[in-house]
Amino acid sequence: MKSFGLFVGLLLAVGIRAAPSKDCEHNVKEAVTPPRGWSKVKPAPADHLIELRIGLPQPKFAELEQHLYEISDPFHERYGAHLSKEEVEDLIAPHEESVSAVDEWLADYGFASHELSRSPAGDWVKVRVPVSLAEDMLKTEYHVWQHEETGDAIVRTTTYSLPVHLHGHIDVVQPTTTFARLRGMKATYHYADEQDFIVDIAQPTIPIPSALNGQVNASCNASITPTCLRELYNIGNYTPQAADVNKIAATGYLDQYANFEDFHDFFAKYVPEATNATFDVIYINNGTNNQSLAAAGVEANLDTQYAFGLSYPTPATFYTTGGSPPFIPDDTTPDNTNEPYADWLAYILSDPSPPQTISTSYGDNEQTVPYSYATRVCKELAQLSARGVSLIFSSGDSGVGDGDSDPATQQCFTNNGLNETKFIPAFPASCPYVTTVGATWYIPEVTYYISGGGFSNYFARPWYQELAVPHYIKNLNTTYEGLYNASGRAYPDVAAQGQFFWIFDGGDNSQIGGTSAAAPTVGGIVSLLNDARLANGLPALGFLNPLIYAVGAILPDAFNDIVGGSNPGCGTEGFTAEVGWDPVTGFGTPNFGKLLDIALGNLGGLLEF
């Protein structure tokens, strides 16, 4: 026995393993039913390159979440004490055993530890492999899948396996089973119909008690500009004072380019005091920002012109992330670069000083993102929030539906193989660590029927919603029982105007709308609040939701409550907008003057309760 033990020791000393991981028993790690609308086209080319992202467990994430909630709770003594990049990374770092186990598995396939790409915390490992090797590693088969409506094509599998001993050391491997298209949720913008409304030019102003000086120019009823938003949301002539430290950003994907000529034309006409304004561009994953007017992106132009127009002269950044089109089915050796959102997250988490406010108008149906991957992405967002970043997302333009047909006739089905009829929540809008924005229109404001809203099927209701959401559900009674998850994270949190926005796009001055207009509007307003706090020696607001729900319960006049109307879909009228919070417009639209008092005046009396 002694000599056998010595022999085994010698084998190990020279790096020989009797049973490499690739020869061990494999069990299925994840399997999904392909989402509706996707068809299998053909086997993926063997030499097609995939960048596998391997997510290792984050054993202390619950501790990070506790920190996040404490520093975001206006009633907590730690309010505003945001974590540093290093503190966050320490809290999400994997156990060394997990790192070693994954490294050994990859070494069996010829990848030395120093050749691997790792996230700063080590919780993600990336390795670039051809399909043939990925299929061997994951004991699966990749195919080209095509979306029937859009023609988008991706290389995916519906199931993959890992060695049994690795199941506890790997949370997720992608791209494998995620069919999300990171779209604007049926394009989170809608062109205005000029016949929707006729302005009564005989009435020069509209009385709005919460607005600046109690009134709004009547033209704003069907013609939104930065001036209208400043009047309507009581911003007035507030001018940023902390441009040396405060920053704002908007994200761009899917070949959406922010055009500088359009930007300058917009400012010359609608923000003339800022004619020379500009913004920085950061290029991620071979992202580009084509400046041909013909290539101008309406989404990118809308986001930058309004988020940066409202917050000028706050330094602004546009992130352009490559990764579109996803794949050309006839190509034999393209790169599979259709997960740009993961690339943006990897970049922004590595930034030691990210912008304090970031607006994003992209997402997809929650059910197209596997639960394992959605939870990991949501945890990435929690990391940013814990570092003091206010993350703003649009809620989608499909009401309670999936956006694939007319709201009145949609048939909404689950992707779990049971074809159950359910409302379809959106992601990342449903993540509990971000602030999600619905839409209103007209003045006085009313519910914009496209406003995405509902309840997550993946994420439980967070503590900050424990007062507002159960109250709404109680009043809802049995209406739509079984069509939504009453215990899920509810959204949106707030709302803003979402139609008739004047922009410059491709050299043309035109109108546009959707929750893609509402999100950058709220982003610009949040940036102004952050500016005020920073200028007064206070930390940025960071994760907003605990504050929003406290304000909504105690000082509701800080939001303009929207009552009446609904967000139809799935063959129903959808949820209705009620007094207080509702899953159509959240707590309503912002009153900047009131929120500014709250942000600066010891939280406006909140601590007295």
Are 212 and 298 contained in the same domain? Answer: yes
Which phi and psi angles does 294 have, rounded to 5°? -70, -25
Domain end point (choices 133, 159, 174): 174
Q: Is residue 64 part of a domain?
A: no
Are 150 and 234 contained in the same domain? Answer: no
Strand 454-460 relative to strand 49-55, pairing: unpaired
Q: Residue 5 — very low, low, confident or very high, per pLDDT cuts 50/70/90?
A: very low
Are 231 and 144 contained in the same domain? Answer: no
In the predicted structure, residue 549 carries a pLDDT above the cut 80? yes
Q: Sort 537 into a burial class: Cβ within 10 Å, 0-12 / 13-18 / 19+.
A: exposed
Q: Is residue 513 part of a domain?
A: yes
Are 154 and 218 contained in the same domain? Answer: no
Q: Which amino acid is at 28?
A: V
Are 229 and 363 contained in the same domain? Answer: yes
Q: What is the pLDDT of residue 147?
A: 84
Query: Which is more confidently placed, 278 or 114?
Result: 278
Q: Residue 151 — very low, low, confident or very high, per pLDDT cuts 50/70/90?
A: confident
Q: What percent of the chain has pLDDT over 90?
A: 75
Q: What is the pLDDT of residue 609?
A: 44
Number of domains in the chain: 2
Distances (CA, A) of 385 to 64, 535, 599: 10, 21, 18
Are 492 and 364 contained in the same domain? Answer: yes
Mean pLDDT of 97-106: 96
Query: Which is more confidently placed, 462 or 202?
Result: 462
Q: Comparing C-alpha atoms, which of 507, 525, 597, 511 is closest to residue 557?
A: 597
Pairwise CA distance, residues 581 & 454, whole Å: 12
Report the predicted TM-score, pTM, of the whole model to 2 decimal places: 0.92
Q: Comparing C-alpha atoms, which of 504, 505, 512, 503 is closest to residue 450?
A: 512
Q: Which amino acid is at 410?
A: Q
Reported as type and span, the H/E element at residue 261 is helix 260-270
Are 230 and 159 contained in the same domain? Answer: no
Query: Which is more confidently placed, 571 or 259?
Result: 259
Q: Is residue 28 part of a domain?
A: yes
Are 368 and 517 contained in the same domain? Answer: yes
Q: What percent of the chain has pLDDT over 70?
A: 87
Q: Comparing C-alpha atoms, which of 427, 482, 480 is closest to residue 458?
A: 427
Are 155 and 288 contained in the same domain? Answer: no
Are 145 and 235 contained in the same domain? Answer: no
> For the chain, how far is it from start to end, CA to CA, in angstroms?
73
Give the total residue count for the chain: 609
Per-residue burial over 378-394, b if 16 or more Cβ lie within 10 Å, else e, is bbbbbbbbbbbbbbbbb
Pairwise CA distance, residues 432 & 424, whole Å: 17
Sign of CA dihedral 124, 63, 527, 432: positive
Pairwise CA distance, residues 277 & 272, whole Å: 10
Q: What is the pLDDT of residue 505?
A: 96
CATH number of 601's domain: 3.40.50.200
Q: What is the pLDDT of residue 36?
A: 78
Binding residues for Ca(2+) are: 561-562, 580, 582
Q: Is residue 195 part of a domain?
A: no
Q: Residue 471 — very low, low, confident or very high, per pLDDT cuts 50/70/90?
A: very high
Note down the domain range covering 46. 15-58+93-174
Pairwise CA distance, residues 209 & 331, whole Å: 60
Pairwise CA distance, residues 427 & 182, whole Å: 9
pLDDT digits (tens, 9 = 90+) for 424-456: 999 999 999 999 999 999 999 999 999 999 999
Pairwise CA distance, residues 256 & 344, whole Å: 14
In the predicted structure, residue 214 carries a pLDDT above the cut 70? yes
Q: What is the pLDDT of residue 226?
A: 98
Q: What is the pLDDT of residue 408?
A: 58
Least confident of 99-103, 193-197, 558-562: 193-197
pLDDT digits (tens, 9 = 90+) for 236-278: 999 999 999 999 999 998 888 999 999 999 999 999 999 889 9
Q: Which amino acid is at 463?
A: W
Residues 6+ apart with CB under 8 A from 159: 28, 30, 31, 32, 140, 177
Distances (CA, A) of 80 to 69, 74, 410, 540: 10, 8, 43, 7
Reported as type and span, the H/E element at residue 454 is strand 454-460
In the predicted structure, residue 190 carries a pLDDT above the cut 60? no
In the DSSP assignment, the letter for residue 224 is B
Q: Is residue 396 part of a domain?
A: yes
Q: Is residue 126 part of a domain?
A: yes
Are 141 and 99 contained in the same domain? Answer: yes
The residues annotated as belonging to the active site are 299, 303, 516
Pairwise CA distance, residues 421 & 406, whole Å: 16
Q: Is residue 66 part of a domain?
A: no
Mean pLDDT of 480-484: 96
Q: Residue 194 — very low, low, confident or very high, per pLDDT cuts 50/70/90?
A: very low
Mean pLDDT of 103-110: 96
pLDDT digits (tens, 9 = 90+) for 123-144: 999 999 999 999 999 999 999 9
In the predicted structure, residue 332 carries a pLDDT above the cut 70? no
Q: Is residue 82 part of a domain?
A: no
The label of the residue with tokens 């920053």 reads: 247
Are 142 and 249 contained in the same domain? Answer: no
In the predicted structure, residue 326 carries a pLDDT above the cut 60? no
Sign of CA dihedral 309, 313, 314, 316: positive
Sign of CA dihedral 300, 301, 306, 308: positive
Q: Sort 321 into a burial class: Cβ within 10 Å, 0-12 / 13-18 / 19+.
A: buried
Pairwise CA distance, residues 609 & 605, whole Å: 8
Q: Residue 413 — very low, low, confident or very high, per pLDDT cuts 50/70/90?
A: confident
pLDDT digits (tens, 9 = 90+) for 14-49: 444 445 666 789 999 999 988 778 899 999 999 998
What average pLDDT does the structure give for the chain?
Answer: 89
Q: Residue 4 — very low, low, confident or very high, per pLDDT cuts 50/70/90?
A: very low
Distances (CA, A) of 416 to 135, 411, 474: 24, 15, 28
